[in-house]
Chains A and B, each alone.
Chain A
């Protein structure tokens, strides 16, 4: 578990670089992973298109990083709780958050956080790293109730510089709570490269100071990410405590739709990473193993695009909430003064209309 070697099952050409873990011997499971990777990328493309045409807010793409998200989520049990940052669309899709909900969220509608699916999963966390302690609290709750559940928290390489992550890893280690922390190391925190983020040789080694296991995996290898996360989760469920996984991937896109990555990194660097990207890698493996064909690929692309288009239409057709909605969930019971503000806002909105 605490190996220093980078865990990798598929090399960048989709050839086996190590033994296939149990789940990966079932072609149906591999196809499920592949389908979610493709769906995530299709969603991503559509989200950017909507943003560019003024129909979605600022959006954080996960292009090139889909395997970290999908791999980590695929290792989780349904009853586990995901505590994500803002780039884990793949994990959310795997866990049952609907595409429409994701569009709503990025379209600036809180209802996108009211997941019909994973009811106990946390919403996206925008203040970097501040969700790490929440995962400790969730995992502590599981331990205190004697439940065989775990929390999985995903954050970026930049997040590891914040005290919140150090505090959370430390506390999780002391209490041996069933939490797995996955660093989605996409090499950049906006314009700051990984080498300027920390002088530590790896991010996995941040686990050492917390007294918990840490390992690096190839984050573009969905099989490796899932295998590492499964192992960490199994350990956590046995009461052996938390673990940190550093998944090495690369952000093939701008930081968000408001960013222009060409200001701080050159095209050669980016194109150098394309051959290692996760979707083609798994596809090559599936093709070589005879589980996949050109026709199946076409059918899948068609299916994903119609799901995404359907969700986008449903999102665009969703009317905004009345102004009163912003007051409705501030407290369980609305205080008198806030009720007055709600009344005034409603009157004002009617006047504006």
Chain B
């Protein structure tokens, strides 16, 4: 048994990928000697040296941009952005370059890079350290967006992301980094991207979430069971490309959908899922789709962040509402 926390699983996946493929490089601020501010790259510098674990100057746009150059040259850069609040500086590079290098050169140049960043609130960090930008990246054609919800899934999904021939934005829920441990065999097995994972079967209502919200969704499902409501819980895992089939099939069985995410509601990724279900499974729906999300406000400072992030109770309330709808 290898019990790992999520951040240790990320570390194990990086180590595994670097061992199996010399083209894999890690770069970012403080990723070398320091092992990253969350220790995701701990020990890599000692094992692989400064040729493969590169401390960069403090320049987020260029961390992404340099990765594009490396990727076009056949390397497999895994760039770390220290906190998602600073990943916005990379959007120009991801949107205007990484995502379209393959298309605009008809496949002559490609961009197999991974941009990793801790995401989301719950660690009482200072401002700009707790944002959830998954929808911004998911809006970009040509990138893949992944958000794991457990140590084992972080390990398997990150390996697949690194092996993927296209650019992947990999958002790691910071508050899950050390929240739990689970058995993660370091066997190099990837979890395929582009598949939702059904974590709990249930006949009454489908609860869909990703990242840190999966934990809340599962807890809500447990408590709803005591009220005789059987909730099916789906971890989206890969937001782009979205595996709508799994979600649609579930909603066709349950007739009810609650989507949970921490990012603001307006234009959040929940809207995308709701729209797809509304257009493709409309006749299966027994109730309006509910979204449980952050507010359309700034992510508040630490004292208030618990009020902002969807809580188990809010998910249960939404589930009860769709159950009560007639």
Query: How does the 8 Å CB contact mask read for A328-345 relative to B, with 1 for contact and 0 for none?
Result: 011111011110000000
CA distance A135 to B245 in the complex (A): 41
Query: How does the 8 Å CB contact mask read for A85-106 relative to B, with 1 for contact and 0 for none?
Result: 0000000000000000000000
A315 located at the interface, meaning its Cβ lies under 8 Å from any Cβ of chain B in the complex: no
CA distance A94 to B56 in the complex (A): 34
B102 touches A139 (CB 8 A): no
Stretch from B62-70, B171-179, B180-188, B317-325 at the A interface = B62-70
Closest residue of B by beta carbon distance from A139: B69
B106 touches A171 (CB 8 A): no
Query: How does the 8 Å CB contact mask read for B94-129 relative to A, with 1 for contact and 0 for none?
Result: 001100001111111110000000000000000000
CA distance A131 to B107 in the complex (A): 18
How many Å from the CB of A175 to the closest CB on chain B?
A: 8
Contacts known (A134-B68, A137-B67); A330 close to B108, Cβ less than 8 A: no
B165: A residues at CB distance < 8 A: 331-333
Contacts known (A134-B97, A140-B70, A141-B74); A122 close to B57, Cβ less than 8 A: no
Contacts known (A130-B92, A164-B65); A331 close to B166, Cβ less than 8 A: yes
B36 located at the interface, meaning its Cβ lies under 8 Å from any Cβ of chain A in the complex: no
A122 touches B72 (CB 8 A): yes
- Number of chain A residues whose Cβ lies closer than 8 Å to a Cβ of chain B: 45
CA distance A134 to B69 in the complex (A): 4
Closest residue of B by beta carbon distance from A113: B105
A330 touches B109 (CB 8 A): no
B142 located at the interface, meaning its Cβ lies under 8 Å from any Cβ of chain A in the complex: yes
- A171's contact among B62, B108, B142, by CB below 8 Å, is which? B62
A84: B residues at CB distance < 8 A: none
A72 located at the interface, meaning its Cβ lies under 8 Å from any Cβ of chain B in the complex: no
How many Å from the CB of B104 to the closest CB on chain A?
A: 5
Closest residue of A by beta carbon distance from B89: A163
How many Å from the CB of A114 to the closest CB on chain B?
A: 4
A133 touches B57 (CB 8 A): no
A170 touches B105 (CB 8 A): no
Contacts known (A123-B104, A123-B105, A332-B110); A136 close to B65, Cβ less than 8 A: yes
A115 located at the interface, meaning its Cβ lies under 8 Å from any Cβ of chain B in the complex: yes
The 8 A-B pairs at the shortest CB distance, nearest first, are namely: A137-B69, A133-B65, A335-B241, A141-B73, A332-B165, A167-B59, A137-B66, A167-B62
Given A120-B109, A134-B97, 20 more A-B residue pairs with CB atoms under 8 Å apart are A83-B69, A110-B104, A110-B106, A114-B108, A122-B72, A130-B93, A133-B62, A133-B93, A134-B68, A137-B69, A138-B69, A141-B69, A144-B75, A151-B69, A164-B65, A170-B59, A171-B66, A326-B103, A329-B102, A331-B241
